[in-house]
């Protein structure tokens, strides 16, 4: 029984010592929580103002808490209780008159176990909870408070380079009309978003502007190729449907080649045609396009013309595409659907041009009221006049005809005797 009492009181002393020591540690650690919350809020506000993620602020707050944990432990250790000191505090709080301390030194017996064996310490929850609550409230406010810089940043972001805005408008139009495959649009959109993710103060740098112009040029070229292929495919189908059957037999092969070439461009271009329309066009044969009903042909042609209008931003609707393709195929210069009308003829004509006369007349204008200085008044022929007496016979080339004298090469002026006397007084 005495051994059980000893084990009880020693275990109770260790438990109360841990509770007492933990209380001191909490008291030393609470100021660090407040500091971490305030500094985290300041960091979040600073990062939001700079349009940066708040991750560095969270990492800094975590570092402050870890540092505070160790620092509070080092400071609080000076006031920690040992097991012997805990027995002394139990003697005083339970009014045991030093029986526990004496029993620990071997004097007397251990008191009987008591259910109220604990130090007279109570947690003050109000003092414990308000520092963490305040820290969380300050940190949350740093995320929720609207900043004046947000409005300025939005205004500045709206004034992005014009090439970016034009590219975005074209991508939105293509995405709305659904005439091209969405994967190709997403790649261009990702490139444009990558430029926008830069800090707004770097949008108008030379590198960003050049990249935006290159992206716009790439999109415009792709739209031009798509428009050309759509017009060629529509022209081949339209021409096959309009011309007579006898002409179709003669022009069937060029029209079929033009249609296949257009399909290849629509499928392999940088902006491929959407799968549904491309699959529909692949099932068509220009020589059998007459088998489509008027309603089916109207629906197909309107869809292709809408795509042409989207590519050209409304400047071209694909009207008379068939006539243009037929004119190209029937060009006498040997042109075709894949090339122009050919080079201009540079050979001489076999027959000379006959004007019907061999008489030439001079152009003459006696009105000199509008003549200007330097205008040519006329041309004439005269016989050169040669002075035969001036010819003295042959002379050697390159020889000097007279001896040079240096003084004669400069301007000289004579002076009167009075002037010479005055000059001698100043220039002796």
CA 103, chain centre distance (Å): 82
Asked whether residue 273 is domain-assigned, the answer is: yes
CB 225 within 8 A of CB 233: no
Q: What pLDDT sits at residue 333?
A: 46
How many Cβ atoms sit within 10 Å of the Cβ of residue 95? 7
Asked whether residue 423 is domain-assigned, the answer is: no
Asked whether residue 43 is domain-assigned, the answer is: yes
Query: What are the tokens at 40?
Result: 């985290």
CB 230 within 8 A of CB 180: no
Asked whether residue 144 is domain-assigned, the answer is: yes
- Size of the chain in residues: 428
Q: Which of 96, 114, 148 is the last residue of a domain?
A: 148
Q: What pLDDT sits at residue 335?
A: 47
Asked whether residue 391 is domain-assigned, the answer is: no
* Same domain, yes or no: 289 and 207: yes
* Same domain, yes or no: 174 and 261: yes
Q: What pLDDT sits at residue 328?
A: 75
Q: What pLDDT sits at residue 152?
A: 44
* Same domain, yes or no: 246 and 315: yes
Write down the H helix ranges in 178-293: 182-196, 206-242, 245-268, 275-282
Alpha carbons within 13 A on the beta-carbon side of 95:
1
Beta bridge partners of 339: 336
Q: Which of 93, 115, 148 is the last residue of a domain?
A: 148
Q: What pLDDT sits at residue 382?
A: 75
* Same domain, yes or no: 102 and 180: no
Q: What pLDDT sits at residue 257?
A: 83
Q: What pLDDT sits at residue 339?
A: 47
Please state, in angstroms and rounded to a whole number, the distance separating the CA atoms of residues 304 and 273: 10
* Same domain, yes or no: 248 and 137: no
To which H or E segment does residue 417 belong?
helix 417-426
Terminal Cα distance for the chain, rounded: 143
**Domain around 12:** 2-148
Nearest Cα to 203, choosing from 170, 237, 239, 162? 162
Q: Which of 318, 340, 362 is the last residue of a domain?
A: 340
Q: What pLDDT sits at residue 344?
A: 52
* Same domain, yes or no: 206 and 336: yes
* Same domain, yes or no: 181 and 321: yes
Burial of 379 (0-12, 13-18, 19+ CB in 10 A): exposed
Asked whether residue 41 is domain-assigned, the answer is: yes
SS3 336: strand
Please state, in angstroms and rounded to a whole number, the distance separating the CA atoms of residues 92 and 84: 13
Q: pLDDT, tens digit, for every residue of 212-245?
A: 898 889 888 888 888 888 888 887 777 777 777 6
**C-alpha distance from residue 159 to each of 49, 153, 163, 191, 204 (Å):** 19, 10, 11, 19, 10
How many Cβ atoms sit within 10 Å of the Cβ of residue 256? 15
* Same domain, yes or no: 120 and 31: yes
Asked whether residue 387 is domain-assigned, the answer is: no
CB 232 within 8 A of CB 258: yes
How many Cβ atoms sit within 10 Å of the Cβ of residue 231? 25
Please state, in angstroms and rounded to a whole number, the distance separating the CA atoms of residues 229 and 327: 17
Asked whether residue 364 is domain-assigned, the answer is: no
Number of separate domains in the chain: 2
* Same domain, yes or no: 192 and 318: yes
Q: What pLDDT sits at residue 287?
A: 73
Walking along the chain (428 residues) 10 residues at a time, the average pLDDT comes out as 77 86 88 86 84 84 88 87 84 82 83 82 82 85 74 55 88 83 86 86 86 88 86 79 70 79 84 84 78 81 82 73 72 50 54 67 68 70 73 58 50 66 67
SS3 241: helix
* Same domain, yes or no: 65 and 207: no
* Same domain, yes or no: 47 and 122: yes
Please give the sequence-ordered ranges of beta strands (E in DSSP) within 100-161, or none if there are none. none
CB 287 within 8 A of CB 247: no
* Same domain, yes or no: 8 and 131: yes
Q: pLDDT, tens digit, for every residue of 75-101?
A: 888 888 888 888 888 888 888 888 888
How many Cβ atoms sit within 10 Å of the Cβ of residue 171? 17
């Amino acid at each position: 029984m005495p051994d059980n009492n000893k084990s009880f009181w020693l275990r109770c002393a260790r438990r109360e010592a841990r509770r007492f020591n933990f209380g001191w540690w909490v008291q030393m650690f609470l100021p660090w929580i407040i500091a971490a919350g305030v500094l985290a809020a300041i960091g979040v506000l600073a990062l939001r103002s700079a349009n940066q993620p708040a991750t560095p602020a969270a990492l800094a707050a975590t570092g402050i808490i870890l540092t505070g944990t160790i620092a509070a432990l080092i400071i609080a250790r000076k006031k920690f209780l040992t097991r012997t000191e805990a027995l002394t505090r139990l003697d005083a709080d339970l009014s045991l008159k030093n029986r526990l301390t004496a029993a620990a030194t071997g004097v007397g017996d251990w008191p009987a176990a008591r259910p109220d064996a604990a130090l007279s310490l109570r947690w003050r929850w109000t003092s414990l909870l308000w520092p963490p609550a305040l820290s969380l409230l300050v940190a949350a406010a740093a995320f929720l408070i609207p900043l004046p810089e947000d409005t300025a940043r939005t205004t500045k972001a709206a004034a992005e380079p014009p090439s970016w805005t034009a590219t975005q408008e074209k991508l939105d139009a293509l995405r709305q009309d659904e005439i091209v495959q969405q994967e190709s649009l997403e790649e261009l959109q990702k490139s444009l978003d990558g430029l926008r993710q830069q800090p707004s103060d770097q949008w108008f740098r030379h590198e960003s502007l050049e990249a935006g112009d290159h992206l716009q040029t790439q999109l415009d070229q792709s739209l031009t190729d798509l428009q050309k292929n759509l017009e060629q495919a529509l022209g081949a189908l339209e021409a096959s449907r309009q011309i007579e059957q006898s002409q179709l037999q003669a022009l069937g092969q060029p029209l079929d080649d033009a249609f296949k070439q257009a399909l290849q461009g629509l499928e392999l271009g940088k902006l491929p045609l959407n799968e549904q329309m491309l699959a529909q066009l692949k099932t068509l044969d220009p020589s059998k396009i007459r088998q489509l009903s008027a309603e089916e042909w109207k629906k197909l042609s309107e869809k292709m013309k809408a795509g042409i209008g989207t590519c050209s931003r409304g400047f071209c609707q694909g009207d008379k595409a068939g006539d243009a393709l037929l004119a190209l195929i029937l060009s006498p210069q040997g042109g075709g659907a894949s090339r122009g009308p050919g080079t201009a003829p540079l050979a001489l004509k076999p027959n000379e041009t006959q004007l019907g006369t061999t008489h030439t007349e001079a152009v003459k204008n006696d009105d000199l009221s509008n003549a200007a200085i330097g205008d040519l008044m006329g041309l004439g022929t005269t016989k050169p006049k040669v002075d035969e007496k001036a010819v003295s016979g042959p002379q050697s080339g390159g020889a000097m005809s007279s001896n040079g004298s240096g003084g004669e090469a400069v301007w000289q002026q004579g002076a009167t005797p009075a002037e010479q006397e005055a000059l001698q007084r100043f220039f002796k």
